[in-house]
Amino acid sequence: MAEVQGVAIEIEAADVLASAADVLVLKHAQVSLGVDAAAKEQLGLDLDMSLLPGAQLVASSSGQVGPRTVVFLGVPRLSDFGYAEIRLFGRRAVSMVLTEFPDCRELAMTLHGAGYGLDETACFEAELAGIAEALDQQGKTSLKRVAIFELDERRAERLRRRLEIVLPVPSRSLDAGSAAELTRGLRQPAEAGAARRDHAFVATPFSENFEDIFHYAIEPAVHNSGLLCERIDEQSFTGSIPERIKERIRSATLVVADLTDANPNVYLEVGFAWGAEIRTVLLCREDSTLKFDVQSERCITYSTIRNLEQRLTDELRHLVK
């Protein structure tokens, strides 16, 4: 078995471009966006550069950003960048650093896929699985830390909690045995998410009031049914939002929509789901008033987050078999 010398896996709630990592690995999904675009701008690189899937570009920061070296890995377009591709990215990133930067002690990365509407937990586990695969195949290394940076403090905390579950060791580090064990443990969810597991598309208003409802009621209930839980955040989305929404609704096992506050976008997504003949589960807070076009439809009402999780879990248990 490959020997891995205690590589710590950590989640940092900070700006990755301000980190002191030896190497930062970012993706280039045939377009510049988010932190990838910000890094290129600060490094003076062409935002329209060509970097095909499988190719890479190495840039010395020269003090323009915190990490000493920034590597861009070419990946497929976002529309084709799913859970399997995220896992491959994690493996490529770590393998490349171990091979080409043997003195690297700290590697920085970001989480991919969640901002594009994919299941946050599945994205994280896919990336972790790729990292573990690369470490399990490597012999002795100077690498001591792999840090996944996330600006959203609440998401960072959720990722930390998930890391505690999938890597239940005091130091949260991968050694000779735990890298292989983590790879085995995450193999089924990541592969299934890419090839076999279906997903629920969730339509909710994007406001702070609904964040806890989504992450602590809807998402656990959907996961308990065996489905991935996907929703598209228009604030962090790049590209054709309506087309992406339509594609994810058409391919969904079912749609879960919270009609509280009568958000017009949520109603529009429900209408599209009905037109596409996708099963739809409607939710609303007990004090909500439904619009006339859905008043005759069955709607799960809830008073608290815990109440919603229980009621939705029971509902999906009968719908998803």
Per residue of the chain (321 residues), what is the pLDDT tens digit?
333 457 889 999 999 999 999 999 999 998 888 899 999 999 999 988 989 999 999 999 999 999 999 999 999 998 889 999 999 999 999 999 999 999 999 999 999 988 788 999 999 999 998 998 888 877 678 899 999 999 999 999 999 999 988 876 655 566 555 555 666 656 444 444 433 458 999 999 878 788 999 999 999 999 999 999 999 875 455 556 778 888 899 999 999 999 998 888 898 999 999 999 999 999 999 988 777 667 778 889 999 999 999 999 999 998 887
CB contact set of 64 (below 8 Å; sequence gap of 6+): 42, 43, 44
**Tokens matching residue 307:** 């109440």
Q: Residues 183, 301: one domain?
A: no
Angle between helices 120-136 and 153-166 (to 10 degrees): 50
Specify if 1 maps to a domain.
Answer: no
Task: Give the CATH number of the domain where residue 69 resides.
Answer: 3.40.220.10
Specify if 2 maps to a domain.
Answer: no
Q: What is the pLDDT of residue 79?
A: 83
Q: Residues 154, 206: one domain?
A: no
DSSP string, 246-293: HHHHHT-SEEEEE-GGG-HHHHHHHHHHHHTT--EEEEEETT----GG
| pTM for the predicted model, two decimal places | 0.87
Q: Residues 203, 186: one domain?
A: no
Distance CA 129, CA 75 (A): 18
pLDDT digits (tens, 9 = 90+) for 104-138: 999 999 999 887 889 999 999 999 989 988 888 77
Q: Which residues of 42-66 are buried (b: 16+ CB within 10 A; e: fewer)?
A: ebebeeeeebebeeebebebeebbb
Domain that holds residue 239: 199-319
Q: How far is CA 205 from the centre of its chain?
A: 19
Q: Residues 191, 238: one domain?
A: no
Task: Give the CATH number of the domain where residue 295 resides.
Answer: 3.40.50.450
The amino acid that residue 109 corresponds to is: M
Q: Residues 179, 216: one domain?
A: no
Final residue in a domain of this structure, among 195, 212, 233: 195
Number of domains the chain is built from: 2
